[in-house]
Chains A and B, each alone.
Chain A
């Protein structure tokens, strides 16, 4: 990314050589849908982990993992978005660890993709015809070449 210069060290905005502002996102897939989380919000990306189940917890909560001595609650993105769960979810997935209100959470997704630099100009408001539970966790949509990437709203992700 040699053609990029940090415009503002505090946020993810970067300046391209042309002076346009771009944001960096970590991309991930859930049931073939592409999602993105601002790069600085992502603490960790992990391979499949040994998850301790938590009986009686709501279905979105898959369990807990031990991350370098800290206990991190694991949320299944599929369930959170109302999508059918995979049989061997725990073994064949990726973890994206984010911070929320001083606690760490690990989001289980099908796979994690690249870090993309996306120009603001490609950003659109969330389409109003999106299902409500998707609407609540979406900050907006980026138009990529062949696909659309939904920007995840971390703040609201844990209201369930």
Chain B
């Protein structure tokens, strides 16, 4: 293939790409003269050049398309979506021919008379003709037949026309007759739509049902809402460039001897080209000259500038150390400035507006909308944002994939959108902007958002996580599953997406160029992908850190913050008062409490397997392996400090942490901290790739030379996590939250507070409704009771000790307990902490209102009996005035060993307060909300329970039925049942008859305990008391 053809191919490809955009623009603004001219001009140029180069197929197709454009230009008919689709088809055909030409060196065999026929027919009639109904979507065969039969005989003239076209001058304004379409054709187009086109057709109904005007024009109904016209402007530079190129091209034509085009046309073509170039040039400011430069030239330029930057850094470093005012300081300064400018200039050459990657999207969205039967609008904001060329290439495919995703999965069908109360047209918004040394690209849609439940199910289905794991994750964490290979919750695979091969590749590609991807989703409102990219690949800012005298670099973009940690202590309370952040551990894994969350830590020296030598002089040697260590030294675990909780956190001789600086990085949605000895500054460095030999080392993403000439390695946070160090974090694992730590049955959460007593008090957190801070002045009196207005009701206030004076000014800390409509506020001095630990009651005080003492944080803490205070405040609560401390009752009974009680009651409050009472009396307690659950529990643990205590009145299965069911089951027929109820015995009948061993009223708490003990000991003694039924 000769140079000329090669150049032609390059230019034509560019022009065709721009044409896609133009045609979509045209569809939106059918009157836009500039766009029409543009399209015409391109077609014209292609036609001309093809004719000249001897490419008849291309020439014919281009000519036919040019015809249509010319007609439109002359106002012969207006642009309809059908026309646009037809022209797009022509463009696709041209593209296809060109690519085959490129591959094979010559035009492929074959002909396009069918397409050309339709194009010409359109030019004549203004109708898109067969293949497209009025809305631009493809027609069914039946329609095509109908359309065919209705076609004008004028077709016969076409072949002759196209042959002669070459030598015709392009100026055909007003010369071709316009013929009216027969009405039947138009109607047939409206009927016989295939189901697949239903949606699009429905939209168009109003237009189609109109009888077409006699002149055959079909009214134009926009399929999509007009989108931002930014791109037309943004195209200005491209247009100008194209114009200039066209001018060059046609000039080239003129200069070659074998011109097949007649002089006339040639001159006209040149004139045309120059004229439009001049037009464009006059209008737009960027009519400047452009020049083509090979990419390899730019690459080597870039490299050399990189070297220059490094050398300049070195020189600067040397002069810094010199202090003395040497003669060459001045020229060096100049060199410095020039280098900086040169660097910026060369980087500019690599920068392209991101709109170039977005160029194809308008058409893509248009086609997708038609195919999927949805209405989608594309908004592009910030298309002029510049991005490094290499990166542009790398993100083109990921962006395409994400846009398709949004259109396919995000935006709902029209009917669904209306149902959800949204507008019919969904919007996909692309935006790009610079921020803090990065480029942020967002792809947002206002569709239905991600379905977290569906994702959870799918994740479990695909074996990516267990059910309990996914249930423990927040929605945001669940969304990250979308990025896993093979993951797709699409019900069926459409031709657009759903095959599940997309998102993980997208993420990999983006991370390869040093970027990150984030996903946000708002159910029913939409989703948003956020891509963060470094400004350029080659030169990037890094943070210099040191680990035992070895310096490393961490890319700035991956660093969220730097924190200084304090030495780990056993007493958490103390460290909370400190200034720094304390390192704690969970099962030897070091974590840091950072603003209320736990941050997993990794020691850099351990990840890189630095060897620790000796005990006394604790030398740490980086990077050496066993064989290099002198034989007389041994590796000793130097952590002999008894105070040190965590063997993975090294302490030096002063007991201070050796690696106190924590560099917080994010990997995916996870944060973690890298512990290092020292942190230096950030520097802009030139990234050099690691040697191929070391490609397998994931911890390094490159290396560089610092200003002082030393080589340092650039770390990759992803790699550091993978290589492990101490932790092995797998994706999807939520942030280690202290509450979510391994659920242990006998660990209960307690709220610790001070209430004008000597020792702190505790209540089970479960019982606490809210913590409030109210103004003392808002306390009012209701009879003898102090109350405050609270959430529309009255809250009664009380103190642990009736003698305590509640201050009447200032803020009061109040712990709110609520049972249905009864709300009690316990006024306390200060709320101290929440602690999770065993309900291990040490001593029984026997004091009213206290259940006993616990040891919390090494301090004796009184456990408050909430129900006592509740009863006091609302006398008559649960119908009982019984003030006996439960403990008294329990204390007098025989210990029967730790029995397991199944407590079934539908009142959550009762369950919550009864449980500690029972536990205090040395029972193991399991609670159930209703009989069904209870049955399930029994089913799973047939031999575990010693007694069942159940409410009679429950929703669903009643306590009686529950009992009956169990009696029928031979596993449980001997299981003793005790009934509890809020009514009196006479109301329910003889419980003994029913099979209950005994019954208790709810208010009789202590009686309950004694009854249970009795029943159990009765059984123990072997006396048969049960009435077995």
Return A82 CB to nearest CB of chain B, in Å. 10
Stretch at the interface among B566-574, B691-699, B840-848: B691-699
CA separation between A71 and B622, bound complex, in Å? Answer: 19
Chain B residues closer than 8 Å to A55, beta-carbon distance: 550, 608-610, 622-623, 699
Check A59/B625 contact, CB under 8 A, given A54-B694, A69-B705, A71-B703: yes
Contact of B311 among A58, A59, A63, A69 (CB under 8 A): A69
At the interface, yes or no: A64 with Cβ under 8 Å from chain B?
A: yes
CA separation between A63 and B703, bound complex, in Å? Answer: 11
Chain B residues closer than 8 Å to A71, beta-carbon distance: 688, 691, 703-705, 711
At the interface, yes or no: A145 with Cβ under 8 Å from chain B?
A: no
Chain A residues closer than 8 Å to B622, beta-carbon distance: 53, 55
Chain B residues closer than 8 Å to A63, beta-carbon distance: 623, 711
CA separation between A114 and B710, bound complex, in Å? Answer: 30
CA separation between A54 and B924, bound complex, in Å? Answer: 57
CA separation between A64 and B688, bound complex, in Å? Answer: 12
Contact B694 A52 (CB under 8 A): no
At the interface, yes or no: A127 with Cβ under 8 Å from chain B?
A: no
Contact of B711 among A58, A65, A87, A103 (CB under 8 A): A65
Chain A residues within 8 Å of chain B by Cβ, number? 24
Contact of A56 among B628, B699, B703 (CB under 8 A): B699
**Which of A52, A54, A71, A73 is packed against the most chain B CB atoms within 10 Å?**
A54
Contact B692 A66 (CB under 8 A): no
At the interface, yes or no: A42 with Cβ under 8 Å from chain B?
A: no
At the interface, yes or no: A19 with Cβ under 8 Å from chain B?
A: no
Name the residue on A nearest B692 (C-beta): A103
Contact of B713 among A50, A52, A69, A103 (CB under 8 A): A52
Contact A64 B703 (CB under 8 A): yes
Check A56/B609 contact, CB under 8 A, given A50-B710, A66-B710, A69-B310: yes
Contact flags A27-55 to B (C-beta < 8 A → 1, else 0)? 00000000000000000000000101111
Name the residue on A nearest B611 (C-beta): A55
Chain B residues closer than 8 Å to A85, beta-carbon distance: 627-628
At the interface, yes or no: A22 with Cβ under 8 Å from chain B?
A: no
Contact A57 B623 (CB under 8 A): yes
At the interface, yes or no: B712 with Cβ under 8 Å from chain A?
A: yes
Residues of chain B from 616 to 647 with CB closer than 8 A to chain A in the complex:
622-625, 627-628, 630
At the interface, yes or no: B723 with Cβ under 8 Å from chain A?
A: yes
Name the residue on B nearest A102 (C-beta): B692
CA separation between A158 and B710, bound complex, in Å? Answer: 24
At the interface, yes or no: A10 with Cβ under 8 Å from chain B?
A: no
At the interface, yes or no: B263 with Cβ under 8 Å from chain A?
A: no
At the interface, yes or no: B709 with Cβ under 8 Å from chain A?
A: yes
At the interface, yes or no: B307 with Cβ under 8 Å from chain A?
A: yes
Contact A59 B627 (CB under 8 A): yes
Chain A residues closer than 8 Å to B608, beta-carbon distance: 55-56
Check A53/B623 contact, CB under 8 A, given A61-B693, A64-B711: yes
Name the residue on B nearest A50 (C-beta): B710
Chain B residues closer than 8 Å to A64, beta-carbon distance: 691, 703, 711, 713
Chain B residues closer than 8 Å to A87, beta-carbon distance: 630
Chain A residues closer than 8 Å to B703, beta-carbon distance: 64, 71
Chain B residues closer than 8 Å to A65, beta-carbon distance: 711
Contact A52 B710 (CB under 8 A): yes
Name the residue on B nearest A64 (C-beta): B711
At the interface, yes or no: A84 with Cβ under 8 Å from chain B?
A: yes
**Which of B699, B713, B723 is packed against the most chain A CB atoms within 10 Å?**
B713
At the interface, yes or no: A101 with Cβ under 8 Å from chain B?
A: yes
Contact B624 A53 (CB under 8 A): yes
Return A38 CB to nearest CB of chain B, in Å. 22
CA separation between A63 and B624, bound complex, in Å? Answer: 10
Return B273 CB to nearest CB of chain A, in Å. 45
**Which of A53, A58, A63, A105 is packed against the most chain B CB atoms within 10 Å?**
A53
Chain B residues closer than 8 Å to A101, beta-carbon distance: 692
Contact flags B166-195 to A (C-beta < 8 A → 1, else 0)? 000000000000000000000000000000
CA separation between A50 and B704, bound complex, in Å? Answer: 15
Residues of chain B from 698 to 740 with CB closer than 8 A to chain A in the complex:
699-700, 703-705, 709-713, 723
Name the residue on A nearest B624 (C-beta): A53
CA separation between A73 and B692, bound complex, in Å? Answer: 10
Return B723 CB to nearest CB of chain A, in Å. 7
**Which of A55, A58, A101, A158 is packed against the most chain B CB atoms within 10 Å?**
A55
Name the residue on A nearest B547 (C-beta): A55
Chain A residues closer than 8 Å to B693, beta-carbon distance: 57-58, 61, 73, 158
Return B258 CB to nearest CB of chain A, in Å. 45
Contact A52 B712 (CB under 8 A): yes
Return A37 CB to nearest CB of chain B, in Å. 19
Contact B623 A66 (CB under 8 A): no
CA separation between A50 and B692, bound complex, in Å? Answer: 21
Chain A residues closer than 8 Å to B624, beta-carbon distance: 53
Return A133 CB to nearest CB of chain B, in Å. 15
Contact A69 B307 (CB under 8 A): yes
CA separation between A57 and B703, bound complex, in Å? Answer: 14
CA separation between A1 and B693, bound complex, in Å? Answer: 39
Chain B residues closer than 8 Å to A54, beta-carbon distance: 623, 694, 697, 700, 713
CA separation between A66 and B311, bound complex, in Å? Answer: 12
Return B265 CB to nearest CB of chain A, in Å. 52
Check A103/B691 contact, CB under 8 A, given A54-B713, A85-B627, A85-B628: yes
Return B675 CB to nearest CB of chain A, in Å. 15
Chain B residues closer than 8 Å to A58, beta-carbon distance: 693
Residues of chain B from 589 to 612 with CB closer than 8 A to chain A in the complex:
608-610
Residues of chain B from 45 to 65 with CB closer than 8 A to chain A in the complex:
none
CA separation between A52 and B709, bound complex, in Å? Answer: 11
Name the residue on A nearest B552 (C-beta): A55
CA separation between A59 and B609, bound complex, in Å? Answer: 13
Check A73/B710 contact, CB under 8 A, given A56-B609, A64-B703, A84-B627: no
Name the residue on A nearest B702 (C-beta): A71
Chain B residues closer than 8 Å to A105, beta-carbon distance: 691
Return B203 CB to nearest CB of chain A, in Å. 59
Return B320 CB to nearest CB of chain A, in Å. 18
Contact of A57 among B688, B694, B704 (CB under 8 A): B694
CA separation between A147 and B623, bound complex, in Å? Answer: 36
Chain A residues closer than 8 Å to B709, beta-carbon distance: 66
CA separation between A61 and B697, bound complex, in Å? Answer: 12
CA separation between A50 and B549, bound complex, in Å? Answer: 14
Contact B705 A56 (CB under 8 A): no
Chain B residues closer than 8 Å to A66, beta-carbon distance: 705, 709-711
Contact flags A115-156 to B (C-beta < 8 A → 1, else 0)? 000000000000000000000000000000000000000000
Return B605 CB to nearest CB of chain A, in Å. 9
Name the residue on B nearest A52 (C-beta): B711
Chain A residues closer than 8 Å to B699, beta-carbon distance: 55-56
Chain A residues closer than 8 Å to B311, beta-carbon distance: 69
Residues of chain B from 85 to 135 with CB closer than 8 A to chain A in the complex:
none
Contact of B691 among A50, A52, A59, A73 (CB under 8 A): A73
CA separation between A54 and B713, bound complex, in Å? Answer: 8
Chain B residues closer than 8 Å to A52, beta-carbon distance: 550, 710-713
CA separation between A61 and B694, bound complex, in Å? Answer: 9
CA separation between A16 and B987, bound complex, in Å? Answer: 126
Return A115 CB to nearest CB of chain B, in Å. 28
Return A33 CB to nearest CB of chain B, in Å. 19
Return B306 CB to nearest CB of chain A, in Å. 9
Chain B residues closer than 8 Å to A57, beta-carbon distance: 623, 693-694, 697
Return B307 CB to nearest CB of chain A, in Å. 6
CA separation between A139 and B608, bound complex, in Å? Answer: 36
CA separation between A108 and B554, bound complex, in Å? Answer: 29
Task: For the A-B complex with A59-B628, A64-B703, A69-B705 known, give 6 more contacts whose Cβ atoms are closer than 8 Å.
Answer: A55-B610, A56-B609, A69-B307, A73-B693, A73-B694, A85-B628
A-B contacts, 6 listed (Cβ < 8 Å): A53-B623, A55-B699, A56-B723, A71-B691, A85-B628, A103-B692
6 closest A-B pairs by beta carbon, nearest first, are A53-B623, A55-B608, A73-B691, A52-B711, A55-B623, A64-B711
